[in-house]
Structure 1
Amino acid sequence: MKSVLFFFSLYFVNFSSQEICNYPPSEWCATQEIARACQVENQCLEFYARVSNKKFSDPAVQVELYYESLCGGCRNFIVTQLFPTWLMLNNIMNVTLVPYGNAMEKNNSGKWEFECQHGPEECVGNMMEACLMYYLGNLDDYFLVIFCMESSNNVTMALDACLSIYEPSLSSKKVVECVNSDLGNKLMHQNALRTEALNPPHKYVPWIVINGKHSDDLQSRAQSALFNLICETYTGPKPDACSQKKEEIPSKSDLLCLN
């Protein structure tokens, strides 16, 4: 999965404070928090990336995330739960990202116009990420760029730097052209239809769907410790990584952007 590991440790600091390592080496990879405190995140993630190449025959856990690019709770979930869990458990989970969230659309003379919860810049961010998915196609490629953007100080302004690191073959100019074109308009309308078709209808974002189902309990567990939820939900023999449960972080209402 490329050299994602260095960038993960670099940007994770935006959401966490630096800590001191008071753990023996045998425990350094036990949790993300310990790995970060002991400054061995890269090595631990490399280890999990290697063991994740093992193939598993049972159906992967399906994780759908309905979100918006500038919602603080969405960004927190992507950076602190979804992306690190996917790095370690990508062999038993499939991730679908749908950037749209609490936006609204209307048809004006055959062209869709969008109004986003956090203003026009969020509409641009949503569409940038939809265009990245369209051009790159593979989650292994576009999730790295989206994680990079969502973990930066300015989501939309980070596009060029994130592409230059992870997907230099795709220019930011081409993505911006997509945003301002009929293609970007079409992609965002498709995301609007997918979001509006949710059952039950979404009440906030991040809205998390596990194996086609959403409930308050699943949402709370996903936001508290997605890693544990994926390991528990997977029906086949568990990967080695699942032997280490992660510390649960109580979910908070301020990590939701209400519809």
Structure 2
Amino acid sequence: MLSEKVVLFVFFGVFHTTEQASVKISVFYETLCPDSRDFILEQFYPSYKNIGKKFIDIDFVPYGHATEWKENGTWKFTCQHGPEECFGNLYHSCALALNSDKDATTNFVNCSMGGDPSSVKSLEECSKNADISWEDLNNCYKDTEKSSEYLHENGEKTRAVENTKFIPTIVLNDKFDENNQKMALNDFEKLICDSLNNEPEICQKQQIQAEMAHEMTVSLFYKPFGSDSIEFITKQLFPTYKILGNLLKLELVPYPKILGNVKMNETNPIEYYATIIHACAINMYSTEESTEFINCAMTTKDSNFKEDIIECSDESGLNWNDIERCYKTGQYQKLLKQLIYRIEHVDRKIESFPTIILSNKFNKTIQVEAKSNFKSSICEFVLNEPEYCNRDEFTNALKVTIYYESLCPDSVRFIGRQLYPYWNDLVDYIDEMELVPYGKATHIFYQHNVTFNLPAYYEFSCQHGQEECKGNKYQACALAQNKGKYVEVPLIFCIMRNRNPSSFNVVKNCAERYRLDISKLKACCDSIEGDQLLAIKGEKTWELEPNIYFVPTIAFNEKFDRTTQSQSLQDFVAVVCSKIQNKTKPTICDGKQLPLIDY
């Protein structure tokens, strides 16, 4: 009996070890090592964000192939890439030693490695962005005895590893393995997923793809007046549907305000009425016709809804009298009951809008990726056939992103001399225009302080002072009303051409001219909502690689190129003309040549 118990115990012990809650990752790196930079920025950090800190216990060790000796009681160092690298290693060692929040230190390391780890200004900005005290960090570096001891400890850790011939060295669960090292450098996310038995949701992507290879149903649950729903439908769903719609089975499900009760008009009559109109149009017309109508309807305003919605029906080729008859005769009540039933019978409770469900299965990973880049998700998850996504009209879609500041003279000059004067000639050839008022600003978010009863708030610092921060915020609020490229570029030009673009009255006058909702604009500008929108613009700015060094920065299809940037500042029209493919170019392109750039 004793031997049987022993065998049974060993069996369960082995079984238990395969269920690993998290994996410890030790990254031995150097701050100025190109390979360290590439690994952290391209392999580690994206995987860390995707998989999450719940599953990855990270230990950064900045030292690498440095050497050390003691002089007058203090450690001295030489580093593989010179004294500047020792400088960066010391700062990183202090940041890692002083802060137990690994999410904060990971953000700091990623930010620093993406900039210049040997620059005090860059280190300070990264510490603020990661919510790490710059004063404490800087004082630690200046205390040579303390900072050198921290770096020495990292040296001890590095020397204890079996093999650090190549930097970065990646160690899993305190054991170096050559195969793990190779996989980490090439596909770190797969290494982590394999180590965790594909437990994280993101790791199930391949299985999801296989299940969806022949199933192309896309269900969108949305709110007719929800700002996130408006943003997604007008900027993500509809542009993609125009190109790939014939390959998709699209289901649009507008959300009734109060589930379980079809008499919902007490709470918000306009939203209730809009839901009915959407439901009637979707039920009466083809997917193609109703999708075009919904895209237009999402840009209507509360105050002028009836007039705008009639105009949308005319533009989409729908008969308004038929749609209104659906409302007046009470046909819609059956439709609302169907909507309620549909929403209540999704495989997981819908808690936010829009919610995107592919092939009738909710998956958080797909939801996040689809909201961020619907076109990419459709190609990756639903179609699973690259030839569809390589079609000329898809891959040659042109997106322009302009990163600018409200009080930047160069931004004013570019918008006023390069962009706006030729906008009417180019607007139909630029599939998506994104305006990002932030530039070289920084911001910090302070959580609600329960002890002193202080509300949560943002603190912004801008290149041209606090007035610019206000101007950036006002423009972020105006752009959040999602009026589309035909309105947004003229609107921003209207603001920027004034002597004081950061004045709310200037923004208000231009907003009135282009029929924005002024009450919503003012509420946004006067509240934390505006700060949140500006912070999102900041995150968008920080995502650009490499980090912006000049304002304005112009990116095409989410990619920055130094030569294209210089050419755009000289002749934006010529650059756009050079990127228009498989279309008859506008006459303004006749004779246009790209400027020659001397460096």
Aligned residue for 1:97, secondary structure, equals strand
Find out whether 1:160 has 2:497 as its counterpart: no
Write the deviation string for residues 54-77 of structure 1: whole angstroms up to 9, x where unpaired: xx9563321111111110001111
Aligned to 2:96: none
Aligned 8 A contact 1:69 1:150 in 2? yes
Match of 2:406 in 1: 69
Given that residues 224 and 250 in structure 1 are in contact (C-alpha distance below 8 angstroms), is that contact kept between their aligned partners in structure 2?
A: no
Quote the Cα distance in structure 1 between the aligned partners of 2:498 and 2:419.
16
- Segment drifting more, 56-65 vs 79-88: 56-65
Contact 2:577 2:592 in 1 (8 A): no
Question: Would the aligned equivalents of 2:407 and 2:502 in 1 still touch at CA under 8 Å?
Answer: no
| CA-to-aligned-CA distance 1:115-154 (integer Å, 9 cap, x gap) | 1111111111111111111124422223222110101122
Given that 2:442 and 2:460 are in contact with CA atoms closer than 8 Å, whether structure 1 keeps it comes out as yes
Instruction: After TM superposition, give the deviation of residue 215 of structure 1 in Å.
Output: 1.9
The equivalent residue for 1:97 is 435
Helix, strand or coil at the partner of 2:478: helix
| Pairing 1:20-31 to 2, within 5 Å after superposition | none
Separation of aligned partners in 2, 1:208 and 1:87? 19
Q: Which amino acid aligns with 1:123?
A: C
Once the two structures are superposed, the pairs formed by residues 173-212 of structure 1 within 5 Å of their partners are 173-212=519-558
> Following TM superposition, by how much is the alpha carbon of 1:239 offset from its aligned partner in structure 2, in angstroms?
2.2
- Aligned position for 1:215: 561
> CA, structure 1 residues 228+184, in 2 after alignment: closer, same or farther (shift >3 Å)?
same
Residues 12-55 of structure 1: CA deviation (Å, up to 9, x unaligned): xxxxxxxxxxxxxxxxxxxxxxxxxxxxxxxxxxxxxxxxxxxx
Contact persistence 1:67–1:205 (CA under 8 A): yes
* 1:180 to 1:245, Cα distance in 2 relative to 1, 3 A: farther
Quote how far apart the aligned CAs of 1:245 are. 4.1
User: How far has the Cα of 1:170 moved from its partner?
Assistant: 2.2
Count how many residue pairs are aligned between Structure 1 and Structure 2.
196
Judging changes above 3 Å, is the alpha-carbon distance between structure 1 residues 250 and 129 closer, same or farther for their aligned structure 2 residues? farther
User: Corresponding residue for 2:517?
Assistant: 170
Distance in structure 2 (CA, Å) of the matches to 1:75 and 1:213: 22
Question: Contact 1:65 / 1:207 at 8 angstroms: preserved in 2?
Answer: yes
Which residue of 82, 88, 101 corresponds with 2:419?
82
- When residues 102 and 239 of structure 1 are mapped into structure 2, their CA distance, relative to the original with a 3 A threshold, is same
Calculate the TM-score normalised by the size of structure 1: 0.68
Query: 1: distance between equivalents of 2:530 and 2:591?
Result: 40
Match of 1:130 in 2: 476
1:241 aligned partner:
587
Q: Which structure 1 residue ranges, 5 or more long, are not aligned?
A: 1-55, 252-259
3-state SS in 1 of match to 2:399: strand
What percent identity do the matched residue pairs reach?
29
State how far apart, in whole Å, the 2-side matches of 1:87 and 1:163 are: 19
Corresponding position of 1:38:
none
The separation in 2 between residues aligned to 1:248 and 1:80, in whole angstroms, is 17
Correspondence 1:113-128 to 2 at 5 A: 113-128=459-474
Q: Measure the CA separation in 2 of the matches of 1:113 and 1:68.
A: 17
| Paired AA for residue 445 in structure 2 | N
TM-fit CA distance, 1:187: 0.5
Residues 475, 507 of structure 2: 8 Å contact kept: no
Q: Which amino acid aligns with 2:507?
A: L
The higher relative CO (CA closer than 8 Å, separation ≥ 6) is in: 1
Which residue is equivalent to 1:39? Answer: none
* Cα distance between partner residues in 2 of 1:80 and 1:227: 11
Q: 2: distance between equivalents of 1:236 and 1:213?
A: 21
Cα distance, 1:248 vs structure 2: 7.9
Distance across 2 between alignment mates of 1:243 and 1:197: 32
1:184 and 1:165 map into 2 onto residues whose CA distance is 21
- Given that residues 66 and 101 in structure 1 are in contact (C-alpha distance below 8 angstroms), is that contact kept between their aligned partners in structure 2? yes
Whole-angstrom CA distance in 2 between matches of 1:119 and 1:127: 13
2:458 counterpart residue number? 112
- Contiguous gaps of at least 5 residues in structure 2: 1-391, 448-455
Q: Does the 8 Å contact 2:425/2:586 carry over to 1?
A: no
2-structure distance, mates of 1:121, 1:248: 36
TM-score normalised by length of structure 2: 0.31
